[in-house]
Structure 1
């Protein structure tokens, strides 16, 4: 941690005065119900990390930091999103996209809020090594090309298992299969495009996608906070503490493996993967306090967030989001090949979700309306077996100097085809689809 909790709380309090239209009615001195440091509370911490909870709660500064970031949105993007009544959401997206592609000077009379948002994203953190980030992206391309298509749905629905964190998704209309499917493919599109060569550079596709994702999240906050949102229970919609897991859970799993092997540091290749994930999250607006760099820090920061998020599962919110996403058809057409791919991918997603999120409990899955059949298990075994073999083959090819460039070029083409199948990601939100919280 680099920032004192008192300094973070002062920044959080600024929201009320800088953006009164969004945050004026919120009491930032009040701890939301979702957050707890009670020793006997039931929380969202992973079962295998439960034994760490007493040690994690004993670090009062880290606990205070996570609590503070439960009440922080994204000041720069929120200020720009708050211009919606004046410009309309389409125009805000268009100006941001143009500014990312052609520079702020390409826009006549750009709003000060847009200038500030772009300047924040262009600021280079002191720890950034773009060569290391590019190496991390190159390593990630293998996983993205071969496993992401079968993991993304199961990973996406795994974020819906806590009603405190999942409610904003439910409010935005994502309980319907069409909207849920679009949100899932947009998420896949974002993570996939950021692994392309040069994607996170200033004029890269990943930089532009990150800017639009930030704006989308802020638009959601703007629209939800104008409704009957109970901040005393839920904190801020899509707070920074909830954005951290989406970008860093794979990094946490990597850190756990490193620690389990008795190491307290990353190898050069692992370091590259971590730096790639950290910079991608930085562009999404995550504060540097939530971007730890060492294996132990990564585990402790993310586990503290889990250890202080009160456990809560509401079937009308969490279960409905899981069922809608699992039922969504996301292929580009209804041809035989697409329908076959949909069936295999959906089976793989169900099996992965049950194993990774529900600790293998098909009974819990069935109670949520997710039936895992013998045919699902067979299709998933074929999918993961095939993807795993390709993963290993390309890992070997990428280690051989004579084949490295050819293998990487093929991975880039695979990701390009995957992105084409996912379709164009809008990264927008339509307030007319929101339901009452």
Structure 2
């Protein structure tokens, strides 16, 4: 019985009515095997975090996790289900034009596209766009100077559980070439959304977020309707909202965890702005507001609760191959000596970040296919003054009024250069981050 989140539960139930071709055969009231509240069953909550008993005793939090485990995307899924009629390329073209020129500019726009765009145009009551812009400015520093060295490591964390990783495996992402494309697309997405004005209605971030939602929904459709490997009783809904939350909010979780460790219940002004930016980006991605708490303790709680209710499993044929192919992927645009050295340094940093953040414990990282060697440690040690020193300098400069203009301009120049190396058209990132018509 739903007691705490009736509106969210209704959204889950509505999926069968909104998209019977996609969800008609799925029992949305059944709890999939991947979800567990049995204290005797090992979950995905890392042991270093602590016990999960207190989380499992919180009925409201458990209900939220169970409900969100069965929630896809009620507005993007119906549009993606038109793939048999229009094809993926045409769906992308119509969505792109609707984002740039408005849905009325799309000839014979399907009603599903109108509903999709209208949902993204909604401004939640809590939204402060000035604060979003400030949060984007502050987040841009880490996107330009830190993320290029860590994103692959964060990406690896999405592959350490079989139940969450299977949709990616079904897309054929086990090859090095596909893995490279996945990493660059993901890093580019998060970087693009930090550009000035990116999350405005006609900003480049709004458009790229819409495309991410469509791709997730296409994966969801293919898993449910075209894959014999998808066992609904075991996995439930593919790419559920509860699995999208960690990737969307990992940076604000890190800030929230730091606040909680310091005994703070409120954000600092800087953290508050970054939180507003991240929260709105996640809202545009389709995450329900129930998964987007406003306070540090709430952020930490939903992160830990998701892991505490996700059954542990690491299938080497799925997770291990995804990890290995992602680590082996070559992300640089060329093969000069500089490109090859930069690629090796970035891999060392990503492996270090993953090991320290997600693989704590004796042999935990090695068991998942990520093992630091002497060269990795030497490269990180040698480049720490450059990587962390430059990042710290730009963070400080961006908060000092006389230096802020210079810091912002430098950060934008570095970020656009970084995006260009991953194939993002420079014209798309100009004009204060808005799409050039």
Give TM class, smaller chain.
Answer: over 0.9
Pairwise mapping of residues 97-136 of structure 1 onto structure 2 (< 5 A)?
97-136=96-135
Q: Following the alignment from structure 2 to structure 1, what is the Cα–Cα distance between the partners of residues 361 and 341? A: 25
Deviations 1:272-308 (A, max 9, x none): 1111110010000000111101011111122111110
Deviations 1:338-393 (A, max 9, x none): 111111111222222222221165x4444444442211111122333311101121
Matched-pair contact (CA < 8 Å) for 1:101–1:208: yes
Partner residue, 1:30: 30
Partner residue, 1:406: 406
Matched-pair contact (CA < 8 Å) for 2:398–2:407: yes
Pairwise mapping of residues 345-356 of structure 1 onto structure 2 (< 5 A)?
345-356=346-357
Deviations 1:179-237 (A, max 9, x none): 01100110000000111111111111111110000000000011111122211101111
Matched-pair contact (CA < 8 Å) for 1:147–1:384: no
Q: Following the alignment from structure 1 to structure 2, what is the Cα–Cα distance between the partners of residues 252 and 262? A: 15
Partner residue, 2:385: 385
TM superposition score normalised by structure 2: 0.93
Residue 409 to residue 23, structure 1, CA distance change in 2 (3 Å): same
Matched-pair contact (CA < 8 Å) for 1:3–1:289: no
Partner residue, 1:434: none
Q: Is the aligned partner of 1:47 residue 2:47? A: yes
Pairwise mapping of residues 318-337 of structure 1 onto structure 2 (< 5 A)?
318-337=319-338
Deviations 1:243-298 (A, max 9, x none): 00001122122111111111111111111111111001000000011110101111
Describe the SS at the equivalent of 2:159: coil
Q: Please give the root-mean-square deviation of Cα atoms over the aligned residues, in Å.
A: 1.6
Matched-pair contact (CA < 8 Å) for 1:354–1:360: no
CA positional deviation for 1:9:
2.3
Residue 324 to residue 111, structure 1, CA distance change in 2 (3 Å): same
Q: Following the alignment from structure 1 to structure 2, what is the Cα–Cα distance between the partners of residues 56 and 349? A: 30
Deviates more, 1:4-13 or 1:118-127: 4-13
Matched-pair contact (CA < 8 Å) for 1:199–1:206: yes
Matched-pair contact (CA < 8 Å) for 1:348–1:384: no
Q: Following the alignment from structure 1 to structure 2, what is the Cα–Cα distance between the partners of residues 244 and 201? A: 22
Unpaired segments of 5 or more residues in structure 1?
Answer: 426-437
Q: Following the alignment from structure 1 to structure 2, what is the Cα–Cα distance between the partners of residues 372 and 49? A: 22
Unpaired segments of 5 or more residues in structure 2?
Answer: 426-437
Q: Following the alignment from structure 1 to structure 2, what is the Cα–Cα distance between the partners of residues 261 and 369? A: 33
Partner residue, 2:16: 16
Partner residue, 2:418: 418
Partner residue, 2:287: 286
Q: Is the aligned partner of 1:61 residue 2:37? A: no
Deviates more, 1:88-97 or 1:227-236: 227-236
CA positional deviation for 1:77:
0.3
Partner residue, 1:267: 268
Residue 216 to residue 293, structure 1, CA distance change in 2 (3 Å): same
Segments ≥4 residues shifted beyond 4 Å:
none
Deviations 1:300-326 (A, max 9, x none): 122111110111111111110000000
Number of residue pairs aligned between Structure 1 and Structure 2: 422
Describe the SS at the equivalent of 1:408: helix
Partner residue, 1:311: 312
Q: Is the aligned partner of 1:219 residue 2:218? A: yes
Describe the SS at the equivalent of 1:159: helix
Residue 43 to residue 201, structure 1, CA distance change in 2 (3 Å): same
Residue 90 to residue 3, structure 1, CA distance change in 2 (3 Å): farther
